[in-house]
Amino acid sequence: MKRTFCGLMLAFTCICAMAQQKPLIGISTGFSDNTASVRYTYVDAIVNAGGIPVLIPLAKDSLAAAEVLSRVDGLILSGGEDVYPFFYDEESVGSLGVVNLERDRSDMWLLQTAVKLNKPVLGICRGEQLTNVTMGGTLYQDLPSQFPNRPLVQHGQRSNGTLPIHHVNVVKESRLYEIMQQEQLAVNSFHHQAVKDVAPGFKVVAVATDGVIEAIEGFPQYNILAVQWHPEYFAQQGDAQWIKLFEDLVIRAGGGKSAIKNPNIKQPKIR
């Protein structure tokens, strides 16, 4: 009887501790010059939203991607190079930028595993485009030479990323609207590609004032929200409104706030 009670107490304590742990949010990284890297804006945005950022180096095979995804609670697909157009069955146009086949494959494996395990995903910039292509959609390889509407707003901004450069109109019946509670958002913009045909199971939830698709989401079929801009710049600055977008990922990842308030680790001394 006593043993059973102790066992129950132990199980209860473990469950409570688990429930209060901060979720691990994996961030896909770029790869060039034999180096894996990601801008610190992503890291700080996740920290500000109450998650623990975990940088994921390029997966060399699908099993490596599956293993790391099984150990994190959510995924951010970060920005980077153009998506290889062969993945959506198009010939390259002259104004296509640099592509990185190894990174495309790695990001696709990560995303496909996340979908299989129903782990929440936030796609950012290239991460949005990669999501659309992986799930069966297509892209404009280069907006200035391919997008039918004119004039275009400045999608490849020359100013610092902390400065919004154009607006997007948000679809009211969307999770993006539920999070932001605004019908129009001022966003930054660092892309020359964009979603063309939306992947099956996804819907457009934000459009730039020139008609360029700027956000898609897959709820309830897919646990995925993906945006064309870089909200992490604003969240890193402590902008409460934009931190909410990352908090949504952390909440979808099943996280509450951490029970660890003060781990009592001493500062290393400089002698």
Question: Are 83 and 142 in contact, with CB atoms under 8 Å apart?
Answer: no
Question: Are 169 and 112 in contact, with CB atoms under 8 Å apart?
Answer: no
d(CA 192, CA 82): 9
Report, in Å, the least distance between residue 132 CB and Mn ion. Answer: 15
Residue 188 contacts Mn ion per CB under 5 A:
no
E-assigned strand segments in 138-270: 139-140, 166-170, 184-187, 194-195, 203-208, 213-217, 224-227
Question: Are 127 and 75 in contact, with CB atoms under 8 Å apart?
Answer: no
Report, in Å, the least distance between residue 113 CB and Mn ion. Answer: 29
Q: Catalytic: 232?
A: yes
Q: Catalytic: 173?
A: no
Q: At what angle do helices 240-252 and 40-48 cross, to 10 degrees?
A: 80
Q: Which of 125, 155, 191, 214 is catalytic?
A: 125
Question: Are 185 and 176 in contact, with CB atoms under 8 Å apart?
Answer: no
Output 22 or 192, the one with its CB closest to Mn ion: 192
**Of 6-14, 63-71, 102-110, 184-192, which part binds Mn ion (CB under 5 A)?**
184-192
The encoded tokens of residue 174 equal 């969307």
Question: Are 107 and 130 in contact, with CB atoms under 8 Å apart?
Answer: yes
Residue nearest Mn ion, CB atom distance:
189
Residue 189 contacts Mn ion per CB under 5 A:
yes
Residue count, binding to Mn ion (CB under 5 A): 2
Q: Which of 155, 192, 230, 247 is catalytic?
A: 230
Q: CA nearest 135: which of 91, 63, 73, 77?
A: 77
Interface map 126-165 toward Mn ion (x if CB under 5 A): -----------------------------x----------
Report, in Å, the least distance between residue 247 CB and Mn ion. Answer: 23
Output 22 or 155, the one with its CB closest to Mn ion: 155
Report, in Å, the least distance between residue 114 CB and Mn ion. Answer: 25
Output 103 or 155, the one with its CB closest to Mn ion: 155
d(CA 48, CA 65): 26
Report, in Å, the least distance between residue 31 CB and Mn ion. Answer: 25
Output 134 or 189, the one with its CB closest to Mn ion: 189
Residues identified as active-site:
125, 230, 232
Binding residues vs Mn ion (CB under 5 A): 155, 189
